[in-house]
Amino acid sequence: MIPTATLLFYCDDKPGILASITDYINTHNGNIIHLDQHVDSEEKLFYIRIEWEIDQFDIPRDKIENQLKELFFQNKYAQVFDLHFSDTKPRMAIFVSKMSHCLYDILARYEAGEWPVEIPLIISNHEDMGHVAKKFNIPYYQIPITKDTKAEQEAKEQALLEQYNIDFIVLARYMQVLSEDFVDKYPNKIINIHHSFLPAFMGAKPYHAAHKRGVKIIGATSHYVTSDLDAGPIIEQDVTRITHRNSINELVAKGRDLEKIVLARALERHIKHKILVYNNRTVVFG
Amino acid sequence: MIPTATLLFYCDDKPGILASITDYINTHNGNIIHLDQHVDSEEKLFYIRIEWEIDQFDIPRDKIENQLKELFFQNKYAQVFDLHFSDTKPRMAIFVSKMSHCLYDILARYEAGEWPVEIPLIISNHEDMGHVAKKFNIPYYQIPITKDTKAEQEAKEQALLEQYNIDFIVLARYMQVLSEDFVDKYPNKIINIHHSFLPAFMGAKPYHAAHKRGVKIIGATSHYVTSDLDAGPIIEQDVTRITHRNSINELVAKGRDLEKIVLARALERHIKHKILVYNNRTVVFG
Amino acid sequence: MIPTATLLFYCDDKPGILASITDYINTHNGNIIHLDQHVDSEEKLFYIRIEWEIDQFDIPRDKIENQLKELFFQNKYAQVFDLHFSDTKPRMAIFVSKMSHCLYDILARYEAGEWPVEIPLIISNHEDMGHVAKKFNIPYYQIPITKDTKAEQEAKEQALLEQYNIDFIVLARYMQVLSEDFVDKYPNKIINIHHSFLPAFMGAKPYHAAHKRGVKIIGATSHYVTSDLDAGPIIEQDVTRITHRNSINELVAKGRDLEKIVLARALERHIKHKILVYNNRTVVFG
Amino acid sequence: MIPTATLLFYCDDKPGILASITDYINTHNGNIIHLDQHVDSEEKLFYIRIEWEIDQFDIPRDKIENQLKELFFQNKYAQVFDLHFSDTKPRMAIFVSKMSHCLYDILARYEAGEWPVEIPLIISNHEDMGHVAKKFNIPYYQIPITKDTKAEQEAKEQALLEQYNIDFIVLARYMQVLSEDFVDKYPNKIINIHHSFLPAFMGAKPYHAAHKRGVKIIGATSHYVTSDLDAGPIIEQDVTRITHRNSINELVAKGRDLEKIVLARALERHIKHKILVYNNRTVVFG
């Protein structure tokens, strides 16, 4: 595998950006293997994800970011700027409560090498999933949370995240609302799975609400966590049909399959640096 | 085609209902060709749709309803009771405003004989769709509505509905909210298509709202109209995927295809007497 | 949980079957909690699944089958006849080769108690999945197969299936074709997952074939194994969209998610006795 | 609306193509409003669709093609090359037999102005759809075909296509197989809708075949017609769920909805110049 660099950014749409970035990479012997760009003509914004092989690239790795910033920042183009190298795996922490379906799904993919990611630790407010962590030899920290202990316990969690050099967090059916302080420290770095088709049925017990409303389709939504509950940028959604024959328990069971697949798709896109967030929405590149 | 009777009802779930109804039909030489029943074990309710051939049935047609009521009503079983004969086609009025996609879809099916229904008239608050009605030789009444004229104009509409012996109404993207009085006169007899995945994005401009929220899937919902806007019993829903590349206009275009198909499925089920409404939800039989 | 009996059968459609069976259960104090029946009017066949509580049933459990047979067999009605009690869990053997995605999915559901099933053993032609079996404390038998050893190795497998009282087998991406002899011993008792939308792309390397043909949707199919390769009765299918951007490896990855979900849905229906097989097709009750 | 040029081509993947094409447009004051490119790393091919505003473009319209060819052809890059201007509407002929559902769907969209297309004529081997053509004031030519008259009748059809300056043809459930000669004259210019999920159930009566095989999902496929029946490049597919309850007639009815929607999506992409054909597959740009 030839190592690659992946650059994502967005900026005001002006003529010549695309020519300029492709020319820069080309001139320095980078071989572009993936480019996906999009112009939002309503917002007048240009979005791009570009990936190129860097084995022949004549700019040293540690100089690329600064050079790109000089070229594209500085009142010129980009407002957000994200550069990754394919041989550096992001490090993901899993937060989980008592349900195992998303956890097993993630760990089975991890063990099979499906994703270029490291999972150095699992944090839970309960002991229930400890045996799963043990099966996969991943450190498991039980950090119970009550209203009174929330601040100090979240501090412990953050200390662990630093200790393990965590890049981003997945809430794999973690049944605690993170404090605003916590969330603000990890902008676009905390991925949640909500068990409804957002914005329908925000908050607690969405399957009960869906059953009561009599919907014919239920869904699941993976999104970045913001301080506004269940209102962060949506990464991925999917749905499944139900009928009047389905009890709430059956909705919950059907929902589990949705949840784990939708969460996995969102994680893969984040891990592979395919997502740009703008204005509480996501651009998910192909 | 042998004529059939179709009976729908629901009642408190007690032992013996099913045996009792099937025995009744059997004893009187009715040949059951379709039976779908469901017990909601949370609500303790029994729902049934049963269809039988009546050419050999030894109870005269006009006696069946009373006899069934004696057997199943009277503090005994059924709370709601619906009996139809296959050789009596329901009569549907179409209400439409300026958009043609649902209207053409309905009329093309009608002309092709897809549904056992009569469409004696089309009512609109605008003149725009008059040429479509003319193409299909269906009387078209333009009844403009303003805040001030609403009561009298709705009275005209209701007079037409009576004059034409209308059984039920489809709002085929009719951009007027019917008054509570109007709605109350047609309980579970007015079918609307809402251009979102309800309960998400109720009210006006749902595609704009969906675009703003950044959802990855949009939907359409067909439901019975109640006095509570966009909150009536859902009959059918469907969804389609969108991406960040899709402008609002593209959502609207994709939505049109959803709307007409979802509405058509709901209409077919209503026309074929496959729907029971209970507690603001629908049981849709197979 | 009140124990229930579940009866499935099909027979020539004659008047009175439904009244007869419901009356029988009713008379003997069985409380019917689920009934789904279907008449195939082209084939003139009647299919039924009926489940009733047996705590008050006045026929002893071991007499029910014979009595039902007397009532419904004997040149009278049923041709196939299937009776189960809810407190007897079916026993499932897993056959697996080198891929873990279906295996983990099944075992995670098993551990979580999602299905009323026992999994007493796992059989594989390779050693690779031994560590997964170990994680879940399930005996793992490695039985390598070559052309020359097939007969004797399958004999070993069948001995194990007898030893462990296995009721049915799941081929969870087991990359060996079972011999006709083997298959014939387990009619409608071996469930396979094929990684295409059957009947498209039967046989080996379906994702390669799908990529070559340029389809826009790929699928997975779970079916009962017959001696005719990939041609047995289909239980469940599902699909997912692909684009020209997807490489074969990406099809394989997307396919894994389809495979495990489609297989799980098929297994659940089999475990819950919701499937009747007739004429190489399945009736899957709601 | 500012007029645009749209260029599609593919070529061997070499460094610098993208920089070169974007630089060319940029230098001549073209404003790129859409670019979608793709590298097939297995085939080592580069595909692109690029659209730019030409109101300020300093190359005259009738020179663009030659100039682009000089730059990108000539043993240099492109093997296929397609240039369109947004103010030139393609002209589509509809071929139809006796079924109206696709025809009405296309004409309703046409009348509503959904697509930038002209429909100058409808050709049919039967008289049945003449009244529909009349409703929309489109010339309708009935050209019956028998084995013996096929050659001469196809000659008449081709004469009409020339007379009306037709760019491409849609077979809207046209129940005749075009001769190889005919097909060869319109490479990637004849769009068919096949009523199955290809490559499953090629040829006649696919719904019957699907019913017999007992599939749980049926589909429809729109593709370019080649001399190899139902084997041309696939543009779009979609599916819908069925159950054992559905008769063949119900499959046919559900299929109609699939057919018209799938065909419409394919037509839109063709009309908007979003499709490149390579190696019997399509690249469908976003």
Give the tens place of pLDDT for each residue, D101-143: 999 999 999 999 999 999 999 999 999 999 999 999 999 999 9
Across residues C206-227, what is the average pLDDT? 97
Chain C nearest-CA distance from A62, in A, is 31
Same-domain status, C133 and C65: no
Give pLDDT, residue A179.
Answer: 97
Other C-beta atoms closer than 10 Å to the C-beta of B178 total 23
Q: Please give the share of chain B, as a percent, with pLDDT higher than 70.
A: 97
Lowest pLDDT segment from A227-231, B260-264, C29-33, C188-192: C29-33
Other C-beta atoms closer than 10 Å to the C-beta of D184 total 11
Other C-beta atoms closer than 10 Å to the C-beta of D189 total 17
Across residues A230-257, what is the average pLDDT? 96
Tokens 């109350």 -> residue: B184
**End-to-end alpha-carbon separation of chain D, Å?**
20
| Coil/strand/helix, residue C195 | coil
The CATH code of the domain that includes C241 is: 3.40.50.170
Contacts of A200 in chain B (CB under 8 A): 197-200
Contacts of A111 in chain C (CB under 8 A): 100
Same-domain status, A249 and A160: yes
Same-domain status, A64 and A129: no
Same-domain status, A204 and A99: yes
Give pLDDT, residue A44.
Answer: 86
C-alpha B186, offset from chain centre: 11
Tokens 């039976």 -> residue: B35
- pLDDT of B62 strictly over 60: yes
Using CA coordinates, name the residue in chain D closest to A41. Answer: D33
**Domain end call among C35, C59, C85:** C85
Which of D253 and A31 is assigned the larger pLDDT? D253
Are residues C100 and A112, on separate chains, in Cβ contact within 8 Å? Answer: yes
Same-domain status, C19 and C140: no
Are residues A15 and D22, on separate chains, in Cβ contact within 8 Å? Answer: no
Same-domain status, D81 and D145: no
The CATH code of the domain that includes A66 is: 3.30.70.260
Q: Taking a C-beta distance cutoff of 8 angstroms, is the pair A48, A13 a contact?
A: no
Lowest pLDDT segment from A191-200, A271-280, B211-220, C37-46: C37-46
Give pLDDT, residue A74.
Answer: 61
Give pLDDT, residue D66.
Answer: 87
- pLDDT of B85 strictly over 90: yes
Give pLDDT, residue D258.
Answer: 98
Same-domain status, D201 and D273: yes
Compute the mean pLDDT over every residue in chain D, rounded to the nearest whole number: 94
User: Concatenated DSSP letters for chain D?
Assistant: ---EEEEEEEEE--TTHHHHHHHHHHHTT-EEEEEEEEEETTTTEEEEEEEEE-SS-SS-HHHHHHHHHHHHTTTTSEEEEEEEETTS--EEEEEE-S--HHHHHHHHHHHTT-SS-EEEEEEESSSTTHHHHHHTT--EEE----TTTHHHHHHHHHHHHHHTT--EEEESS--SPPPHHHHHHSTT-EEEEESS-TTTT-SS-HHHHHHHHT-SEEEEEEEE--SSTT-S-EEEEEEEE--TT--HHHHHHHHHHHHHHHHHHHHHHHHTT-EEEETTEEEE--
- pLDDT of D44 strictly over 90: no
Are residues B261 and D264, on separate chains, in Cβ contact within 8 Å? Answer: no
Same-domain status, D151 and D128: yes
Would you place residue A8 in the very low, low, confident or very high pLDDT band (cuts 50, 70, 90)?
very high
Same-domain status, B22 and B133: no
Contacts of D106 in chain B (CB under 8 A): none
Q: Taking a C-beta distance cutoff of 8 angstroms, is the pair C135, A135 a contact?
A: yes
Across residues C71-90, what is the average pLDDT? 79
Tens digits of residue pLDDT in C189-208: 999 999 999 999 999 999 99
- pLDDT of A71 strictly over 90: no
Across residues A204-209, what is the average pLDDT? 96
- Under an 8 Å CB criterion, which residues of B touch A? 38, 40-42, 47, 197-201, 213-217, 219, 233-239, 243-245, 247-248, 280-284
Other C-beta atoms closer than 10 Å to the C-beta of A79 total 12
Do the strands A217-224 and A234-241 form a parallel or antiparallel pair, or are they unpaired?
A: antiparallel
- pLDDT of D79 strictly over 70: no
Give pLDDT, residue C210.
Answer: 97
Chain D nearest-CA distance from C192, in A, is 15
Give the separation between CA C76 and CA D179, rounded to whole angstroms: 56
The model's pTM: 0.96
Give pLDDT, residue C75.
Answer: 55
Give the separation between CA D58 and CA D26, rounded to whole angstroms: 10
Contacts 24+ apart (CB under 8 A), A40-44: A40/A13, A40/B244, A41/A13, A41/B247, A41/D33, A42/B247, A42/B248, A43/A279, A44/A12, A44/A13
Are residues B41 and A217, on separate chains, in Cβ contact within 8 Å? Answer: no
Contacts of D284 in chain C (CB under 8 A): 216, 243-244
Q: Which of A1, A33, A105, A285 to mutate to test the interface with C (most CBs of C within 10 A)?
A: A105
Using CA coordinates, name the residue in chain B closest to D129. Answer: B112
- pLDDT of C73 strictly over 70: no
Tens digits of residue pLDDT in A120-164: 999 999 999 999 999 999 999 999 999 999 999 999 999 999 999
Contacts of D224 in chain C (CB under 8 A): none
**What would the two tokens of residue D65 be?**
């093609």
Give the separation between CA B24 and CA B7, rounded to whole angstroms: 13
- pLDDT of B20 strictly over 90: no
Are residues B239 and A245, on separate chains, in Cβ contact within 8 Å? Answer: no
Would you place residue D75 in the very low, low, confident or very high pLDDT band (cuts 50, 70, 90)?
low
Q: Which of A41, A236, A244 to mutate to test the interface with B (most CBs of B within 10 A)?
A: A244
Q: Report the residue from D99, D135, D245 with minimal CB separation from B286.
A: D245
Q: Taking a C-beta distance cutoff of 8 angstroms, is the pair C259, C207 a contact?
A: no
Q: Report the residue from D135, D261, D286 with minimal CB separation from B257.
A: D261
Give pLDDT, residue B77.
Answer: 61
Positions of B marked active-site: 230
Give pLDDT, residue B131.
Answer: 98
Q: Which of D10, D228, D244 to mutate to test the interface with C (most CBs of C within 10 A)?
A: D244
The CA-based angle D109-D114-D117, given to 5 degrees, is 90
Across residues B136-146, what is the average pLDDT? 97
Across residues C15-24, what is the average pLDDT? 83
Give pLDDT, residue D73.
Answer: 66
Positions of A marked active-site: 230
- pLDDT of C15 strictly over 80: no
Give pLDDT, residue C78.
Answer: 62
Contacts of C253 in chain A (CB under 8 A): 114
User: Concatenated DSSP letters for B198-257?
Assistant: TTTT-SS-HHHHHHHHT-SEEEEEEEE--SSTT-SPEEEEEEEE--TT--HHHHHHHHHH
Which ipTM was obtained for this model?
A: 0.95
Query: Phi, psi at residue D183, to the nearest 5°?
Result: -60, -40
Tally of domains in chain B: 2
Give pLDDT, residue B14.
Answer: 79
Same-domain status, B240 and B111: yes
Tens digits of residue pLDDT in D143-175: 999 999 999 999 999 999 999 999 999 999 999
Give the separation between CA B59 and CA C32, rounded to whole angstroms: 29
Give pLDDT, residue A66.
Answer: 87
Tokens 């004031």 -> residue: D137
Give strand pairing partners of D48.
Answer: D9, D37
Would you place residue D186 in the very low, low, confident or very high pLDDT band (cuts 50, 70, 90)?
very high
Positions of D marked active-site: 230
**Domain end call among D85, D103, D132:** D85
Same-domain status, A19 and A144: no
Q: Please give the share of chain C, as a percent, with pLDDT higher than 70.
A: 97
Compute the mean pLDDT over every residue in chain A, rounded to the nearest whole number: 94
Of the candidates B200, B201, B141, the residue with the CA atom closest to the CA atom of residue B174: B141
Chain D nearest-CA distance from A52, in A, is 11
Give pLDDT, residue C142.
Answer: 98
Are residues D104 and B101, on separate chains, in Cβ contact within 8 Å? Answer: no
Same-domain status, B48 and B101: no
- pLDDT of C72 strictly over 80: no
Give pLDDT, residue B38.
Answer: 86
Q: Please give the share of chain B, as a percent, with pLDDT higher than 90.
A: 80
Lowest pLDDT segment from A205-219, C4-18, C207-221, C269-283: C4-18
Of the candidates A85, A89, A73, A36, the residue with the CA atom closest to the CA atom of residue A283: A36
For residue C241, is it left (φ>0), alpha (ψ between -120 and 50) or beta? beta
Q: Taking a C-beta distance cutoff of 8 angstroms, is the pair B42, A249 a contact?
A: no
Q: Give the residue numbers spanning the domain of C62.
A: 4-85
Across residues A10-35, what is the average pLDDT? 86
Q: Report the residue from A112, A245, A253 with minimal CB separation from C101.
A: A112
**Domain end call among B26, B60, B85:** B85
Give pLDDT, residue B204.
Answer: 92
Chain C nearest-CA distance from D116, in A, is 25
Q: Report the residue from C200, C214, C282 with minimal CB separation from D214.
A: C282
Give pLDDT, residue B78.
Answer: 62
Are residues A245 and C286, on separate chains, in Cβ contact within 8 Å? Answer: yes
